[in-house]
């Protein structure tokens, strides 16, 4: 059972009397009559979703009630297993709805999504706080030794039990009421934080009305700013905003230091202007409520509560890791400061480098040092070739074959569909959807229209995986030509796809990518290591017109430029990750003075004055309103894993070493969430990951 779909619906609506056996014109209520039982996209209409969801809620509610009503003593087989397999219709329709709503949405789907969201969350609460159900789960957990469970079943039981306890199911009535109140208050504060931040971001504009104030800016940046002004009815002027795509180019290219300072100050003071949109008191309240909530649930701090279910396990481990990378990155950042300061003096400047100067001098030094820009490499990264390259890597590592199939159902003409096989046996289906369009949200991601698992009788259900990107589209005269970063993104998402395709678990709740946030990027980020390997490049990075393989000197430039400015990039990221940990390792509720708290936290780590944390407290959306509290470290944590794991290949002298690949598949990709992540990693590598490889990759340490 998917945890997100673990829901129950009270306001039932019966669907005009038809049983599942009869043929219904709602495709979700029939067995899919398509190759590999793919969703019949051409037949699915928006009007089919809500009735199927409602029926799905009803079915699961009944299934859960049957479990509770069972007069026998609770066992794994009469409680946990039927819970895992409950809500199948809900999973079936949700598996189609959410990926479609991201990749090919419209007003109707968005409206349905809004209606669904409170229904789902109410049911989460109703099930997670259902005492009769919890008592059965608790009983099974207390008697687990008598049930002869497999390792996977033990993990499913443990996950289920903990998820109840962590939601407050074990509390007495009075504390449950307190918890509900805290939850409500916190969710309101989070929404308020987000609204303030949006208003602060949109409320600031740098308006330029004299041409000389545009000094240094490239034509493209100027015309974007003119278009922005026009859209704001300020025709003839130029407007820069605090949105990254508008602000960053200004900081990179404007030679007007006073204006860079003005714009960047607008940015780093967001939410900290002592006005009606100020976020400081909101943050202080959220931080305090999180501590109270953790105490109620029996944890010392909010970080202790969150990290228990992550690979890192506890806050000490996270701060220790971050501290080690910090110690390596700070000296590199200081050297970067020195070389920028030298350039300032060389140009006759008489000032000290400040945070608003960083992007500008980085850009200058990069040009001087590497003479590289994206347009030089694009012709070698034609999208079909890049996909050939990633299929080639998967074939060398895991013997997978990818055969394009034109005959399978698709939800949009841009989608390319591949049947994935190994030794002529069907493994799954991979759908790839690469180009931007208005119905698709930004970014890149990987999901599944059906996850791998076994059905209740143990029969294998093969996955239908989807990867979605917003890559440079083809034009009338040219095919899609990618930047090297876009090529990496394809390999990255393909890594998530392999994690889904090679999953081999029994229970749906622990299959595929159902792993903690600080582990899930290992399978994806490791794939990025193959993109620029010469052995791989010579297979796919061919000039789209001449077929010539990308020249070695260009590859060398790409490699070196990739390590450039990593002191700054690492330090500004880590400063935010450490700030996150400082807030969430507090153990006593206190009235925080946010400015003072942040200042002290950064002094504790001796952050240099030339760098601001990537996010200051008052605009750190990740931790106050989007689920990353005590989790912002995950990105670099996973980099420690992928860098170390790729070393396992490198050390053999063969980046396609079959034995290492087999072990990676056996211990990590096929295991999904059936084991503890650290145990999986050690089973693969023979030891815990070290940070050496990460430091070398980022150029923070010399080989």
Catalytic residues: 493
Considering only residues 88 to 107 of the shown chain, the ones binding Zn ion according to CB under 5 A are: none
Q: What distance in Å separates the CA atoms of residue 1 and residue 160, rounded to the nearest whole number?
A: 10
Phi, psi of 57 (to 5 degrees): -60, -45
Phi, psi of 451 (to 5 degrees): -85, 160
Q: CA dist 674 to 226, 516, 592, 671, Å?
A: 54, 11, 41, 6
The window from 138-146, 524-532, 544-552, 555-563 that contacts Zn ion (CB under 5 A) reads: 524-532
Q: How far is the CB of 496 from Zn ion (least distance, A)?
A: 6
Closest Cα to residue 677, out of 310, 320, 322?
Answer: 310
The window from 217-225, 334-342, 371-379, 517-525 that contacts Zn ion (CB under 5 A) reads: 517-525
Q: Which is nearer to Zn ion, 383 or 520 (CB)?
A: 520
Q: What distance in Å separates the CA atoms of residue 490 and residue 410, rounded to the nearest whole number?
A: 20
Q: Which is nearer to Zn ion, 310 or 524 (CB)?
A: 524
Q: How far is the CB of 443 from Zn ion (least distance, A)?
A: 10
The window from 74-82, 188-196, 267-275, 522-530 that contacts Zn ion (CB under 5 A) reads: 522-530
Q: How far is the CB of 196 from Zn ion (least distance, A)?
A: 29
Q: Which is nearer to Zn ion, 167 or 524 (CB)?
A: 524
Using DSSP's 3-state secondary structure scheme, residue 468 falls into: strand
# of chain residues touching Zn ion (CB under 5 A) = 1
* Residue 500 DSSP label: H
Q: How far is the CB of 521 from Zn ion (least distance, A)?
A: 5
The window from 296-304, 436-444, 454-462, 516-524 that contacts Zn ion (CB under 5 A) reads: 516-524
The window from 32-40, 523-531, 596-604, 687-695 that contacts Zn ion (CB under 5 A) reads: 523-531
Q: How far is the CB of 664 from Zn ion (least distance, A)?
A: 17
Q: CA dist 665 to 337, 459, 500, Å?
A: 43, 21, 11
- On whether the CB atoms of residues 83 and 160 are closer than 8 A, the answer is yes
Q: Which is nearer to Zn ion, 527 or 623 (CB)?
A: 527
Question: CA 227: distance to chain centroid?
Answer: 32
Q: Which is nearer to Zn ion, 484 or 524 (CB)?
A: 524
The CB-nearest residue to Zn ion is 524
Q: Which is nearer to Zn ion, 493 or 598 (CB)?
A: 493
Which tokens in the block code for residue 213? 């104030």
Q: Which is nearer to Zn ion, 452 or 524 (CB)?
A: 524
Phi, psi of 401 (to 5 degrees): -115, 140
Q: What distance in Å separates the CA atoms of residue 123 and residue 61, rounded to the nearest whole number?
A: 9
Give the CB-side neighbour count of residue 458, counting CA atoms within 13 A.
Answer: 0
Q: Which is nearer to Zn ion, 130 or 524 (CB)?
A: 524
Q: How far is the CB of 48 from Zn ion (least distance, A)?
A: 31
β-strands 238-240, 464-468: how paired?
unpaired
- On whether the CB atoms of residues 504 and 670 are closer than 8 A, the answer is yes
Q: How far is the CB of 229 from Zn ion (least distance, A)?
A: 36
- On whether the CB atoms of residues 205 and 267 are closer than 8 A, the answer is no
Q: How far is the CB of 431 from Zn ion (least distance, A)?
A: 17
Which tokens in the block code for residue 530? 């193959």
Residue with tokens 């049911």: 123
Closest Cα to residue 449, out of 32, 38, 36, 30?
Answer: 38
By CB under 5 A, is residue 524 in contact with Zn ion?
yes
**Interface map 25-44 toward Zn ion (x if CB under 5 A):** --------------------
Residue with tokens 């020249």: 551
The window from 16-24, 78-86, 520-528, 654-662 that contacts Zn ion (CB under 5 A) reads: 520-528
Closest Cα to residue 228, out of 212, 255, 247, 200?
Answer: 247
By CB under 5 A, is residue 488 in contact with Zn ion?
no
By CB under 5 A, is residue 697 in contact with Zn ion?
no
| Interface with Zn ion (CB under 5 A) | 524
């Amino acid at each position: 059972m998917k945890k997100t779909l673990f829901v129950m619906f009270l306001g039932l609506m019966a669907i005009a009397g038809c049983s599942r056996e009869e043929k219904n014109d709602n495709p979700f209520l029939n067995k899919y009559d398509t190759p590999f039982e793919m969703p019949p996209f051409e037949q699915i209409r928006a009007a089919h979703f809500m009735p199927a969801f409602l029926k799905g809620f009803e079915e699961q509610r009944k299934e859960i009630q049957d479990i509770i009503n069972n007069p026998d003593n609770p066992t794994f087989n009469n409680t946990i297993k039927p819970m895992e397999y409950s809500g199948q219709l809900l999973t079936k329709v949700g598996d189609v709805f959410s990926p479609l709503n991201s990749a090919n949405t419209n007003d109707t789907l968005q409206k349905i999504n809004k209606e669904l969201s409170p229904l789902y969350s109410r049911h989460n609460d109703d099930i997670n706080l259902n005492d009769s159900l919890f008592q059965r789960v608790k009983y099974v957990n207390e008697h687990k030794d008598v049930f002869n469970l497999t390792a996977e079943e033990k993990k499913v039981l443990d996950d289920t039990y903990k998820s109840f306890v962590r939601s407050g199911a074990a509390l007495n009535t009075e504390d449950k009421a307190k918890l509900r109140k805290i939850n409500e208050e916190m969710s309101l504060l989070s929404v308020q934080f987000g609204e303030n931040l949006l208003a602060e971001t949109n409320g600031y504009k740098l308006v330029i009305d004299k041409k000389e104030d545009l000094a240094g800016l490239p034509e493209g940046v100027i015309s974007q700013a003119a278009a922005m002004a026009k859209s704001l009815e300020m025709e003839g002027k130029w407007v820069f905003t605090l949105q990254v795509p508008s602000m960053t180019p200004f900081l990179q290219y404007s030679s007007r230091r006073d204006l860079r300072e003005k714009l960047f100050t607008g940015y780093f003071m967001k939410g900290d202007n002592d006005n009606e949109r100020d976020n400081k008191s909101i943050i202080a309240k959220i931080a305090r409520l999180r501590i109270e909530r953790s105490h109620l649930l029996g944890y010392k701090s909010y970080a202790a509560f969150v990290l228990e279910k992550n690979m890192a396990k506890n806050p000490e481990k996270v701060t220790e890791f971050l501290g080690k990378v910090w110690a390596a990155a700070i000296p590199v950042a200081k050297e970067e400061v020195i070389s920028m300061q030298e350039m300032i003096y060389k140009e006759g400047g008489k000032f000290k480098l400040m945070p608003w100067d960083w992007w500008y001098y980085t850009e200058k030094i990069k040009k001087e040092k590497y003479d590289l820009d994206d347009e030089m490499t694009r012709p070698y990264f034609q999208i079909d070739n890049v996909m050939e390259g990633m299929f080639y890597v998967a074939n060398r590592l895991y013997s997978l074959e990818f055969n394009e199939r034109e005959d399978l159902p698709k939800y949009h003409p841009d989608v390319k569909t591949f049947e994935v096989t190994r030794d002529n046996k069907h493994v799954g289906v991979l759908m790839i959807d690469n180009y931007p369009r208005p119905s698709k949200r930004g970014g890149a991601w990987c999901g599944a229209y059906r996850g791998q698992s076994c059905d209740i009788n143990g029969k294998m259900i093969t996955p239908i995986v989807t990867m979605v990107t917003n890559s440079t589209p083809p034009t009338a005269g040219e095919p899609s030509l990618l930047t090297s970063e876009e090529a990496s993104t394809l390999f990255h998402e393909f890594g998530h796809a392999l994690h889904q395709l090679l999953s081999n678990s029994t229970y749906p709740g622990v299959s595929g990518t159902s792993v903690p946030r600080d582990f899930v990027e290992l399978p994806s980020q490791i794939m990025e290591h193959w993109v620029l390997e010469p052995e791989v490049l010579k297979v796919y990075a061919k000039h789209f017109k001449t077929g010539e393989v990308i020249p070695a000197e260009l590859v060398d430039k790409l490699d070196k430029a990739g390590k450039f400015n990593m002191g700054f990039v690492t330090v500004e990221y880590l400063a935010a990750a450490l700030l996150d940990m400082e807030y969430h390792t507090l153990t006593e509720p206190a009235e925080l003075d946010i400015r003072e708290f942040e200042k002290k936290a950064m002094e504790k780590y001796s952050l240099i004055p030339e760098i601001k944390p990537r996010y200051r407290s008052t605009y750190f959306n990740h931790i106050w309103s989007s689920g990353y509290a005590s989790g912002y470290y995950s990105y670099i944590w996973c980099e420690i894993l992928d860098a170390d794991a790729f070393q396992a290949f490198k050390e053999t002298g063969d980046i396609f070493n079959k034995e290492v690949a087999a072990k990676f598949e056996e211990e990590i990709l096929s295991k999904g969430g059936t084991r503890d992540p650290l145990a999986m990693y050690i089973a693969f590598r023979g030891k815990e990951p070290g940070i050496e490889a990460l430091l070398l990759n980022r150029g923070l340490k010399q080989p």
